């Protein structure tokens, strides 16, 4: 999965690979402090679209590139930040759909996932079984 940030006026987005399992302990602790959530809850809330959690995640990623970035400096419009799944993650979702859905619901789900997969980034680090993006 990728966190993609493209502030208004920028020609190219900044893209970070987001794997909650790879965040360092200091980063996880800072996230817990700023979001007032345990890390496992934070990862779920990022997926659900929590503004607080996505701001904290963006701050961590920006801080990696620019260590002096302060949390209070991070502000973004909703359409400037998004999460994107990789081709491998879409392939796993399609396998899961085939295992759990049937009929028209399966067909609609597969069509939607296939359309999204066509424009998704390839992530060679995710070869094999893709783990779910949420840590519990």
pLDDT of residue 122: 85
Q: pTM (2 decimals)?
A: 0.81
Helical spans, DSSP H, in the chain: 25-35, 39-48, 51-65, 87-100, 103-119
Q: Over range 47-71, report the average pLDDT.
A: 97
Give the domain range for residue 59. Answer: 2-84
Q: Is residue 125 part of a domain?
A: no
pLDDT digits (tens, 9 = 90+) for 22-46: 999 999 999 999 999 999 999 999 9
75 and 101 in a common domain: no
93 and 28 in a common domain: no
d(CA 11, CA 68): 24
Q: Is residue 25 part of a domain?
A: yes
- Residues in a beta bridge with 21: none
Q: Is residue 129 part of a domain?
A: no
pLDDT digits (tens, 9 = 90+) for 80-127: 999 999 899 889 999 999 999 999 999 999 999 999 898 888 887 765
Asked if 29 and 37 touch (Cβ cutoff 8 Å), the reply is no
Q: Is residue 76 part of a domain?
A: yes
pLDDT of residue 121: 85
Q: Which of 37, 61, 84 is the last residue of a domain?
A: 84
Looking at the structure of the chain, the number of domains it has is: 2
103 and 41 in a common domain: no
73 and 98 in a common domain: no
Q: Is residue 100 part of a domain?
A: yes
The Cα-based distances of 31 to 23, 36, 99, 109 in angstroms read 10, 8, 35, 33
């Amino acid at each position: 999965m990728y966190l993609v940030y493209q502030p208004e006026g920028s020609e190219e987005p900044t893209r970070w690979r987001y794997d909650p399992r790879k965040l360092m302990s200091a980063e996880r602790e800072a996230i817990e402090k700023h979001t007032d959530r345990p890390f496992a809850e934070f990862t779920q809330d990022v997926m659900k679209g929590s503004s607080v959690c996505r701001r904290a995640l963006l701050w961590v990623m920006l801080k990696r590139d620019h260590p002096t970035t302060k949390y209070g400096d991070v502000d973004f419009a909703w359409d400037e930040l998004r999460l994107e799944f990789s081709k491998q993650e879409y392939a796993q979702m399609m396998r899961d759909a085939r295992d759990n859905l049937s009929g028209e619901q399966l067909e609609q789900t597969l069509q939607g996932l296939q359309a999204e997969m066509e424009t998704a980034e390839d992530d060679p680090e995710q070869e094999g079984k893709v783990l779910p993006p949420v840590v519990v």
